[in-house]
Amino acid sequence: MAVLIRKLFVGYNFLFDELVDTRTKEWPLVAKPYLVMSMLALYLVFVFKWGPQWMKNRKPFNLERTLIVYNAIQVVACAYLFIASVRIWISKYKWICEPLDPTNSESALAMASLVYYYFLLKIVDLMDTIFFVLRKKFNQVSFLHVYHHAGMVMLTWGVATYLPGGHGTMVGVINTFVHVVMYSYYLLTVVYPSVKNSLWWKKYITQLQIIQFFHNVVHMGSIIFVPTCGFPRWTAALFLPQNTFMLILFLDFYIKTYVRKPKAKKDENGIVKKRENNDIQQLVRARYVEERTAVRS
């Protein structure tokens, strides 16, 4: 038993002390998996158990003012990260195979800081689900929604801990731009409820997300064909399956929603209504995309 404990300690020290980036390892939450895991555990327990139980006999909270402030903060934060990171990419980085710079140069430290801020912003994103629970929008708390938010926290924690810079940061650059558009839309729907009826907004936001995932697949896939790249090629093996899945998911939703529009049929009273969709898989996919693009009503 003592030998096993010693080996576990050595392995933990190797993974979360020796392998981590020396520039970020002392920053709050970085290189400390137990803190992030505890945070996500509390998040999951609240979302699936404590929250619903607490709200069972309560009326939904009116969070209109809170959502205005929250969405405004998201827009400003995402815009800042996008502009700051684009400046580095334009002046220092190249699109195909940008090596990880482990030095303490000004641009390398700046990018490491932006990666860390992006990680913190993904933690803030967990509030999306908390708001759903407090407003009793339990239908919005799907498996895919929670999986996406929790997964992004873990992913960005790993990037901030081990690879705070280089080729992979372009994914965050594109994502922050998309989130500027999305949270601006959410903000408008709270301030001006009439915007909720502007369905064409949703269509183009979905198109923007499809472009995002397509770009990410091509961008991260490009390092596979560059054997001398200074950025770890194994990261593509972790990244590509997830983003390919998301790309297929959004394409499927877009085609079924905007290209092959559901046919209408009449009910017993002769009133035209939309065709019911009994395909559970399609319903889950549609619900997830709506969570990412629909109005926070």
| Residue range 123-141: mean pLDDT, rounded | 94
Active site residue: 145, 148, 149, 179, which one? Answer: 148
Tell me: pLDDT of 201 over 80.
no
Write down the pLDDT at residue 295.
40
Over the stretch 45-58, which tens digit does the pLDDT of each residue have?
A: 999 999 999 999 99
Write down the pLDDT at residue 50.
96
Task: Record the pTM.
Answer: 0.84
Mean residue pLDDT across the chain: 85
Write down the pLDDT at residue 257.
78
Domains of the chain, residue spans: 2-293
Confidence of residue 80 (pLDDT cuts 50, 70, 90): very high
- Packing angle, helices 64-91 and 106-124, rounded to 10: 160
Tell me: pLDDT of 197 over 70.
no
Question: Who wins on pLDDT, 243 or 174?
Answer: 174
Confidence of residue 142 (pLDDT cuts 50, 70, 90): confident
| Residue range 259-270: mean pLDDT, rounded | 56
Q: Which of 104-113, 207-216, 246-255 has the highest mean predicted lDDT (pLDDT)?
A: 104-113
- Is 148 an annotated catalytic residue? yes
Q: What percent of the chain is predicted at pLDDT more than 90? A: 52
Tell me: pLDDT of 175 over 50.
yes
Write down the pLDDT at residue 203.
81
Confidence of residue 292 (pLDDT cuts 50, 70, 90): low
Q: What percent of the chain is predicted at pLDDT more than 70? A: 86
Write down the pLDDT at residue 5.
83
